[in-house]
């Protein structure tokens, strides 16, 4: 026996808390120590009995590097640690300069998660040009979705590559032979795949738009110049603006959950097994923030505004805007305070500035690592799946008539992000102006906010038909009894023949032509013969009546104004009587309906108010209170 070889390969005598690196080359020992350091920095707990089999195997094989390790005959935790060590050692040797030459990029080299794949692009020139674009684009990406965003655009180029491979005899390898005809064939293939159902309508539009954007960017990067990757590519090998199909029209109001669904969900929150996960779910419901924003909340995320009301401090990671402030209710603030106490009890010695409100339960000895939003999602999905059937009133057609039945709600729609849509929808239904809602949602563009509560045309049409059957003039007389089946032309005629005013619509021709800005009796619509209102304005009329009565009492007791000023500001008895009569007439008609019809009207009113623009002629805005989806809470 070779004694020197035996000394180098024989496992050391086990000693508690000690891992012997004797017999390993200096290089392998350095790799082993580096991998341990990276694991400890990530908060992982290392145990000698888990790492000793890995070290013994490397010693027996006398490897020159951990990258040569074959971990197939390892088992359990030792095999997992072998893969973890190998990953750290492999990543330590990588750089952007070396990684960009590969067809699969490790995202961590570029500050991303996961991997970027270019293998599906078979033409060398197109693959290298796409890599050059990605290398330029990646530094501008941020957030957890950055890798997916870049990969989707790479996949669009892969679809272009597939079209060239299938439609050209040379497979599209020679870029000098490509013409506008190849682009036309690509567009036709996208439509073909869409018609076959292999890609969605939205994917059709996004792929065409991405290919156009990338081809333009490749040219601006100078890749078509002499000596570059795309030199010789024809100028007409590009997608024009007219080649991009229109985005598919949304026919639903988004991914918001109906109030009935939310009430049933909130009634079963006590079924969430993990207290911390339940707190996260409740915060998502109450605040409408993104899952990642709630998961990464700092411990000291609660503050007070100038009026002493609670405010949530959070970071908008997607838009890279930190320190955002969101007004919250006292109940939500109490929920946060309770969670702060639980976290502080777990980690009493960690400074508050480093502590997380929802700390991870693994590899987190000091509470500085936040709970992963995927963990919240997994526990949320398990909880929703375990819930009893969620029944919601649904309009169905039976024997040619529409009736309301209680049908099960699809639980797959109850996802974490749906609570953000529901938050937006809840405030939109309550009449919150869209510019205020944009601030609450922390969006930069108004159009982004509007996509969260858009209502489909068919649902809006049905709701308008139902609501308009209960339309009244200023005297409380019904003005339109038969609105069951209007033609499109009739809808259009009424749309151009009236203009929205506070508490209803106006049909006076000159005022309609001026867009509602040419009325001689402004602010006194209820006294005009051209005024119409319907059941959807009932909350506004009730609030207006309450304001009139309140103002009358205040003015009667106000002694610091001249008589003429008080008389002019005093609401007239005639106006109060007229508004009271309208409210009573609407209430009586609503009470005369059956329970099913009343439910249908209420659903229609919600949809109509959801899509209605706020009308203000200098008067105070009146809106509905937010629906109470948590009636069991006292605050």
Residue with tokens 């049905």: 462
Report residue 595 as tokens.
């329970």
- Three-state secondary structure string covering 379-448: HHHHHHHHCCCCEEEEEEEECCEEEEEEEECCHHHCCCCHHHHHHHHHHHHCCCCHHHHHHHHCCCCHHH
For the chain, what is the mean pLDDT?
Answer: 82
pLDDT score of 630: 64
Tell me the C-alpha distance between 423 and 437, whole Å. Answer: 10
Say whether pLDDT at 260 is over 60: yes
pLDDT score of 253: 45
Its CATH architecture, for the domain 269-386, is: Orthogonal Bundle (1.10)
* Phi and psi, residue 541, nearest 5°: -65, -40
Going by pLDDT thresholds of 50, 70 and 90, the confidence category of residue 632 is low
pLDDT digits (tens, 9 = 90+) for 494-515: 444 567 777 777 877 777 777 6
Tell me the C-alpha distance between 288 and 424, whole Å. Answer: 7
Tell me the C-alpha distance between 145 and 149, whole Å. Answer: 6
pLDDT score of 248: 67
Report residue 564 as tokens.
């003429």
Report residue 232 as tokens.
């010789």
Gyration radius of the chain over CA positions: 33
pLDDT score of 40: 83
Tell me the C-alpha distance between 290 and 283, whole Å. Answer: 10
pLDDT score of 163: 95
Say whether pLDDT at 614 is over 60: no
Q: Pairing between strand 401-408 and 471-472?
A: unpaired
Tell me the C-alpha distance between 614 and 387, whole Å. Answer: 38
Highest mean pLDDT, choosing among 41-50, 248-257, 482-491: 41-50
Tell me the C-alpha distance between 397 and 158, whole Å. Answer: 45
CB 517 within 8 A of CB 506: no
Least confident range from 33-47, 49-63, 605-619: namely: 605-619
Going by pLDDT thresholds of 50, 70 and 90, the confidence category of residue 469 is low
pLDDT score of 609: 67
Report residue 202 as tokens.
């939205």
CB 525 within 8 A of CB 503: yes
pLDDT digits (tens, 9 = 90+) for 331-385: 999 999 999 999 999 999 999 999 999 999 888 888 999 998 889 999 999 999 9
Helix residue ranges, H only, 457-534:
457-468, 488-496, 509-513
pLDDT digits (tens, 9 = 90+) for 197-242: 999 888 999 999 999 999 999 999 999 999 999 999 999 999 998 8
pLDDT digits (tens, 9 = 90+) for 404-443: 788 899 999 999 999 999 998 888 877 678 888 889 999 9
Going by pLDDT thresholds of 50, 70 and 90, the confidence category of residue 191 is very high
Residues of the chain with CATH 1.10.443.10: 269-386
Q: Helix (H, G, I), strand (E, B), or coil: what is residue 150?
A: helix
Higher pLDDT, 467 or 77: 77
Least confident range from 66-75, 308-317, 526-535: namely: 66-75
Say whether pLDDT at 149 is over 50: yes
Report residue 554 as tokens.
């205040």
Residues, the chain, total?
635
Report residue 513 as tokens.
């032509």
Higher pLDDT, 153 or 114: 153
Instruction: Kindly state the percentage of the chain with pLDDT values over 90.
Output: 36
CB 499 within 8 A of CB 511: yes
pLDDT score of 490: 42
Say whether pLDDT at 169 is over 70: yes
pLDDT digits (tens, 9 = 90+) for 275-326: 999 999 999 999 999 999 999 999 999 999 888 899 999 999 888 789 999 9
CA-to-CA separations, 214 to 109, 137, 207, 244, in angstroms, rounded: 23, 10, 10, 14
* 21 CA to centre of own chain: 50
CA-to-CA separations, 584 to 469, 552, 572, 588, 604, in angstroms, rounded: 17, 20, 18, 6, 20
Tell me the C-alpha distance between 149 and 133, whole Å. Answer: 13
Global pTM exceeds 0.75: no
pLDDT digits (tens, 9 = 90+) for 568-590: 778 888 888 888 888 888 788 77
Tell me the C-alpha distance between 467 and 489, whole Å. Answer: 19
Highest mean pLDDT, choosing among 84-93, 149-158, 544-553: 149-158
């Amino acid at each position: 026996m070779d004694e020197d070889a035996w000394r180098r390969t024989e496992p050391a005598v086990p000693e508690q808390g000690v891992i012997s690196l004797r017999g390993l080359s200096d290089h392998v020992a350095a790799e082993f120590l580096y991998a341990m350091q990276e694991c400890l920095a990530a908060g992982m707990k290392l145990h000698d009995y888990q790492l000793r089999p890995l070290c013994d195997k490397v010693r027996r094989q006398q490897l020159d590097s951990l990258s040569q390790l074959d971990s197939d005959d390892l088992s359990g935790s030792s095999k997992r640690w072998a893969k973890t060590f190998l990953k750290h050692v492999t990543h330590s040797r990588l750089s952007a300069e070396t990684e960009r030459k590969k067809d699969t990029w490790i995202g961590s080299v570029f500050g991303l998660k996961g991997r970027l794949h270019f293998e599906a692009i078979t033409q060398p020139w197109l693959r290298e040009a796409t890599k050059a674009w990605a290398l330029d684009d990646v530094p501008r990406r941020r957030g957890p979705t950055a890798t997916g965003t870049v990969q989707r655009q790479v996949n669009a180029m892969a679809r272009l590559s597939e079209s060239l491979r299938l439609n050209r005899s040379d497979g599209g390898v020679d870029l000098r032979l490509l013409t506008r005809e190849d682009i036309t064939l690509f567009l036709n293939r996208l439509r073909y795949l869409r018609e076959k159902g292999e890609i969605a309508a939205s994917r059709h539009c996004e792929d065409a738009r991405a290919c156009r954007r990338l081809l333009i960017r490749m040219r601006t990067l100078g890749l078509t110049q002499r000596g570059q990757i795309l030199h010789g590519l024809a100028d007409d090998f590009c997608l024009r603006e007219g080649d991009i199909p229109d985005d598919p029209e949304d026919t639903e109001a988004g991914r918001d959950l109906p109030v009935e669904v939310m009430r049933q969900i909130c009634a079963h929150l006590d079924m969430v097994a993990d207290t911390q996960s339940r707190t996260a779910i409740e915060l998502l419901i109450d605040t409408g923030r993104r899952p990642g924003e709630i998961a990464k909340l700092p411990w000291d995320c609660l503050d007070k505004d100038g009026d002493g009301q609670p405010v949530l401090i959070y970071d908008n990671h997607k838009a890279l805007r930190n320190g955002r402030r969101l007004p919250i209710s006292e109940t939500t603030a109490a929920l946060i305070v309770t969670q702060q106490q639980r976290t502080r009890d777990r980690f009493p010695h960690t400074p508050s500035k480093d502590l997380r409100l929802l700390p991870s339960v693994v590899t987190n000895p000091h509470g500085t690592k936040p709970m992963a939003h995927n963990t919240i999602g997994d526990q949320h999905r398990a909880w929703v799946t375990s819930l009893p059937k969620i029944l919601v009133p649904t309009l169905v057609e039976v024997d040619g008539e529409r009736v309301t039945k209680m049908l099960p709600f699809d639980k797959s729609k109850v996802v974490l992000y749906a609570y953000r849509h529901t938050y937006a929808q809840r405030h939109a239904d309550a009449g919150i102006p869209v510019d205020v809602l944009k601030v609450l949602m922390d969006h930069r563009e108004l159009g982004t906010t509007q996509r969260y509560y858009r209502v489909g045309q068919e649902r809006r049409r049905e709701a308008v038909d139902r609501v308009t059957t209960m339309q009244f003039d200023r005297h409380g007389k019904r003005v339109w009894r038969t609105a069951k089946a209007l033609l499109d032309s009739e809808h259009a005629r009424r749309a151009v023949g009236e203009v929205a005013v506070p508490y209803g619509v106006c049909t006076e021709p000159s005022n309609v032509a001026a867009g509602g800005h040419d009325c001689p009796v402004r602010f006194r619509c209820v006294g005009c013969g051209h005024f119409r209102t319907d059941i959807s304005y009932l909350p506004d009329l009730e609030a207006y009546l309450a304001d009139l009565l309140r103002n009358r009492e205040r003015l009667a007791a106000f002694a610091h104004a001249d008589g003429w000023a008080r008389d002019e500001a005093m609401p007239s008895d005639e106006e109060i009587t007229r508004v009271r009569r309208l409210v009573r007439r609407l209430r009586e008609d609503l009470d005369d309906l059956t329970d099913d019809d009343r439910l249908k009207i209420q659903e229609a009113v919600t949809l109509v108010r959801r899509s209605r623009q706020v009308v203000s002629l200098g008067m105070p805005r009146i809106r509905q209170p937010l629906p109470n989806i948590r009636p069991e809470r006292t605050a």
